[in-house]
Amino acid sequence: MRIATWNVNSVGARLPKLLDWLGTAEPDVLCLQELKCAEDAFPYDEVGELGYEAAAHGNGRWNGVAILSRVGLDEVRQDLLDQPGFQADGAMFETPEPRAIAATCGGVRIWSVYAPNGREVGHPHYQYKLRWLDALRATAAEELGAARPWAVLGDFNIAPNDEDVWDIAAFEGHTHVTDEERKTLTALTDTGLGEVYPRALKYDVPFTYWDYRALRFPNNQGMRIDLVYSNAGFTGAVTDCYVDRNARKGKGTSDHAPVVVDLALD
């Protein structure tokens, strides 16, 4: 089974790229983030022509997540356990943003997640990000009792280690690399999950994101923030994991590249 995750940075703007990649890479399951479209505007018919069912969760704003599968799409769940919401002024409200969706695909329980950015250290959005990641940990702990392969894939907006950014000095005092954010990943692994780390291809560190500005991609000044965490039943079946850097090349691409995981499941 091939499972992948990709922050497409607008499924509408990236649809030709998405369809082309699906036809070339042929994942059995694809987790998408940053749809920037409402659920009823998702291109169900277009991906369906390639053999994929789709479950989408979006409201047309800057977030949104989806799971595409050609091996079944069951037990669909939107949102995390007690997932917090956010308003621009920092006030919390009942309706959470569409940042998490789950489904069982071919016997594997899969979550597609898009963690909040955090904006700036000390900003209300940063505290929201930490609360949201706490909700992810609680959700993982709730679901991991079932004896089946389980994984959460997506854009975590956190670089787990200093070497996961192109220049750690450039990030001093900024989000994505703070101890508090990284502690949320440690808390996630405390539930019994482990990270599936991509093998290096062209460069030593398999970055997954490069800003559009300042020639970040051709200079490989990126970050590794698109991550895969899984239980032993999933991790033990992994035969390969890599970042498809070619999907970031050219015009009209997302600023993220897909992370691809191959598994040999019984």
Q: Measured between alpha carbons, how far is 71 from 74 in angstroms, rounded to an integer? A: 10
Q: What ranges make up the beta strands (E) of 82-185?
A: 100-105, 108-114, 150-155
179-222 pLDDT, tens per residue? 999 999 999 999 999 999 999 888 899 999 999 999 999 999 99
Does pLDDT of 119 surpass 90?
yes
Instruction: Tell me which amino acid residue 80 is.
Output: L
Q: What is the mean pLDDT of residues 119-143?
A: 96
- 125: amino acid identity, one letter: H
The two beta strands, 2-7 and 29-33, are: parallel
Domain 2-263: which topology?
Deoxyribonuclease I; Chain A (3.60.10)
Average pLDDT score over the chain: 95
Q: In the structure, what pLDDT confidence band is assigned to residue 93 with cuts at 50, 70 and 90?
A: low
E strand or H helix at 259, and its extent?
A: strand 259-263
* Nearest-angstrom CA–CA distance, 4 and 261: 6
- Angstrom distance (rounded) from CA 148 to CA 226: 23
Which has the closest alpha carbon to 266: 136, 106, 140?
106
Domain range summary for the chain, segments of one domain joined by +: 2-263
Bridge partners (DSSP) of residue 259 are 5, 243
Task: For the chain, give the percent of residues with pLDDT over 90.
Answer: 92
Query: How high is the pLDDT of residue 91?
Result: 58
Whether residue 106 contacts residue 1, with contact meaning beta carbons closer than 8 Å, is answered with yes
pTM over 0.95: yes
The arithmetic mean of pLDDT across residues 79-90, rounded, is: 84
Q: Is the pLDDT of residue 90 over 60?
A: no
Kindly state the tokens that stand for 22: 């699906």
Query: What per-residue confidence (pLDDT) applies to 92?
Result: 56
**Average pLDDT, stretch 62-85?**
97
Percent of the chain with pLDDT over 70: 97
pLDDT at 61: 87
Convert the pLDDT of each residue in 146-181 to its tens digit. Answer: 789 999 999 999 999 999 999 999 999 999 999 999
